[in-house]
């Protein structure tokens, strides 16, 4: 784990698919909300589960959805798996999360410094924005950066312990793995997720 900000993403960074697969394997009971595009592909590639809630649209909304879920399910570990571009678009949600501070919520930002869904243009996180500093500024004190696979168990432990709101920026490679597409049927995803929580579908 590194406490130093970096303004560029290099190929020495973490492999996104390997990191997500290892993390999800370590927290099998966590509820996972995945953001637009690649984070949802990564989550699906790690293995489809009833506790996965894939967001196909609503760019910028993953952290807000995760917050609502964490407040509604305080006995469950809730993980938001999103990208730097989406989190930057929904940056204000971190302010509400910092105010509410649900101890069972962990936000994992897979940061390749690019907008992967629109042509790999550079995002603000590769142009000087320090997402960890931003999260801390919003009141999420337990915020840190990960730059190697060896830190994956640390993130998993934070998720499992549910002691405090956690924000993790994971520096990933700026490559584009093959797309692994989860179900696109919104009502199906919603109802399957509700059933996993013991709630009736509607």
CATH code of 156's domain: 3.40.50.970
**Inside any domain, residue 70:** yes
pLDDT above 90: percentage of residues in the chain:
73
**Inside any domain, residue 37:** yes
* Cα–Cα dist 111/153, whole Å: 18
**Inside any domain, residue 9:** no
* Cα–Cα dist 5/169, whole Å: 10
Query: Which pLDDT band holds residue 29 (cuts at 50, 70, 90)?
Result: very high
**Inside any domain, residue 56:** yes
Structural domain that includes position 127: 16-196
- Per the structure, the count of domains in the chain is 1
Query: Which pLDDT band holds residue 6 (cuts at 50, 70, 90)?
Result: very low
**Inside any domain, residue 183:** yes
Instruction: Using the predicted structure, report yes or no on whether residue 7 has a pLDDT greater than 50.
Output: no
**Inside any domain, residue 43:** yes
pLDDT at position 8, please? 44
pTM for the structure as a whole: 0.90
**Inside any domain, residue 179:** yes
Residue 181: CB atoms within 10 A of its CB come to 11
Q: Which residues touch 194 (CB under 8 Å, ≥6 apart)?
A: 200, 201, 202
**Inside any domain, residue 4:** no
């Amino acid at each position: 784990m590194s406490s130093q900000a970096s303004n560029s993403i290099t190929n020495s960074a973490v492999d996104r698919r390997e990191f997500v697969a290892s993390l999800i394997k370590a927290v099998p009971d966590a509820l996972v909300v995945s953001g637009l595009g690649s984070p949802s592909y990564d989550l699906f590639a790690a293995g489809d589960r009833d506790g996965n809630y894939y967001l196909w649209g609503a760019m910028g909304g993953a952290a807000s959805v995760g917050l609502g879920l964490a407040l509604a399910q305080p006995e469950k570990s809730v993980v938001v798996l999103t990208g730097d571009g989406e989190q930057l678009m929904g940056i204000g949600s971190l302010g509400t999360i910092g105010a509410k501070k649900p101890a069972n919520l962990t936000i994992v930002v897979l940061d390749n410094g690019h907008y992967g869904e629109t042509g790999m243009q550079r995002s603000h996180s590769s142009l000087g924005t320090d997402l960890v500093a931003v999260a801390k500024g919003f009141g999420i004190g337990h915020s840190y950066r990960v730059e190697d696979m060896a830190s994956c168990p640390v993130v998993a432990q934070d998720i499992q312990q549910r002691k405090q709101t956690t924000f993790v920026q994971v520096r990933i490679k700026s490559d584009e793995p093959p797309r692994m597409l989860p179900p696109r049927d919104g009502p199906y995803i919603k109802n399957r997720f509700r059933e996993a929580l013991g709630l009736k579908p509607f």
